[in-house]
Amino acid sequence: MSREDRFPSFTSRRQFLLSAGTIGASAWLVPSRLLSSDAPHLGGLSRNPGPVEQMRKAAETAPIRIQKLRGNLSALIGNGGNVVALQGNDGVLLIDAGIVGARVAETVARITRTPIRHLINTHWHFDHTDANDWHHAHGAAILAHEMTRTHMATTTRVEDWKFTFPPSPAGAIPATVFADERDVRLNESLVQLKHYPPAHTDGDIWAHFTDVDVLHVGDTWWNGLYPFVDQSTGGSIDGMIGATERNLAKTSDKTIIVPGHGPVGGKADLIEFRDMLIALREKVAGLKKQGKSLEEILMAKPTADYDEKWGRYVIDGKTFTALVYQGV
């Protein structure tokens, strides 16, 4: 089986970029064995640039949609990972930065004239932190988990993207970090931050706005999408399942849950995601335990019953199978 057969393709660069805008600009997260400069030419997509460059380019023009949540909270969808903005007299607090800071700030200005003064990153990936430096230069203090700072402050390789990130600019690196949990009181709200054991990465956190019961879980949840698991920086399929169980234990049927990618949802959506992860982990692990190679498992199509719902946009069943295979 050729590499082209094992992994998904896009019909065109235009389709790729349209998908990025349609699903909150997350379509870059196809592992770069597909899209990197040293990968085969697939589906009419140019060998260069790779997914990181393509996503950054798409973010320059992709529309950003505002979704009102509860109280003074709004979600900003369309410039990298989903951003949550809390407005108030202490200055706007952002959960995640987006990719293009000026465009995120312009969108916030449609909600409030109060400047952005506080920023919390859910993890280190560029679609959640690229705009850190811009926001910091315009007055925002940045807080994150200590592993987020570690990865941003050093050269970090993501093997599945065939991409090496240089150290971030000094202003982009979170000045304040925590190890396990931290409470933030701003704009008459309490935001509880909690670190997960390694899941999507080794530095994932949630942000729970307790007064209105809105929970931002970062990339531990991809609503309606197969998730990317960054095994280069500590992620694993088992960690993703564990994080989802923790998210479910934290929420009720009334909780608004903001994923890193995909639409804002609730507990029923999260249960469906958890069940999908467990079912496909068991299928792939069972086949691997039988001694089957990745190529043989891909031919068995263990995700076939799930691809119509979960594999339509960013990562298809073949790619997700390969990601799970690496971690079991």
Contact 130, 56 (CB under 8 A): yes
CB count in 10 Å sphere of residue 56 = 18
At 190-239, the pLDDT tens digits run: 999 999 999 999 999 999 999 999 999 999 999 999 999 999 999 999 99
pLDDT of 16 over the 50 cut: no
pLDDT of 29 over the 70 cut: no
Whole-angstrom distance, CA of residue 30 vs CA of residue 227 = 10
| Strands 141-145 vs 176-178: parallel, antiparallel or unpaired | parallel
What confidence tier does 314 reach under pLDDT thresholds 50, 70, 90? Answer: confident
Whole-angstrom distance, CA of residue 197 vs CA of residue 180 = 9
Amino acid 215: pLDDT: 98
pLDDT of 7 over the 50 cut: no
**Between helices 237-250 and 317-327, what is the axis angle to 10°?**
100
Contact 287, 296 (CB under 8 A): yes
Print burial letters for 228-246: b (CB count within 10 Å at least 16), e (below 16).
bbbbebbbbbbbbbbbbeb
Whole-angstrom distance, CA of residue 116 vs CA of residue 120 = 11
Q: Which of 64, 168, 74 is nearest to 125 (CA)?
A: 168
Tally of residues, the chain:
328
Token readout for 108 is 């916030």
- Phi, psi for 142 (deg, rounded to 5): -115, 135
Amino acid 58: pLDDT: 94
At 60-117, the pLDDT tens digits run: 999 999 999 999 999 999 999 999 999 999 999 999 999 999 999 999 999 999 999 9
At 251-302, the pLDDT tens digits run: 999 999 999 999 999 999 999 999 999 999 999 999 999 999 999 999 999 9
Contact 157, 232 (CB under 8 A): yes
Whole-angstrom distance, CA of residue 23 vs CA of residue 17 = 10
Q: Domains along the chain?
A: 61-327 (3.60.15.10)
Amino acid 313: pLDDT: 79
Contact 25, 62 (CB under 8 A): yes
At 106-163, the pLDDT tens digits run: 999 999 999 999 999 999 999 999 999 999 999 999 999 999 999 999 999 999 888 9
Of the candidate ranges 41-50, 160-169, 203-212, the one whose mean pLDDT is the lowest: 41-50
Residues linked to residue 189 through DSSP beta bridges, in sequence order: 186
CB count in 10 Å sphere of residue 169 = 13
Amino acid 4: pLDDT: 36
Amino acid 48: pLDDT: 60
Which residues fall within 8 angstroms of residue 37, CB to CB, at 6 or more apart?
47, 48, 49, 50, 162
pLDDT of 45 over the 70 cut: no
Q: What is the DSSP letter of 90?
A: T
| Strands 141-145 vs 116-120: parallel, antiparallel or unpaired | parallel
At position 21, the amino acid (one-letter code) is G
Q: Helices (DSSP H) in the chain: which residue ranges?
A: 3-6, 13-22, 51-59, 101-108, 126-129, 132-137, 146-153, 237-250, 267-289, 294-300, 307-310, 317-327
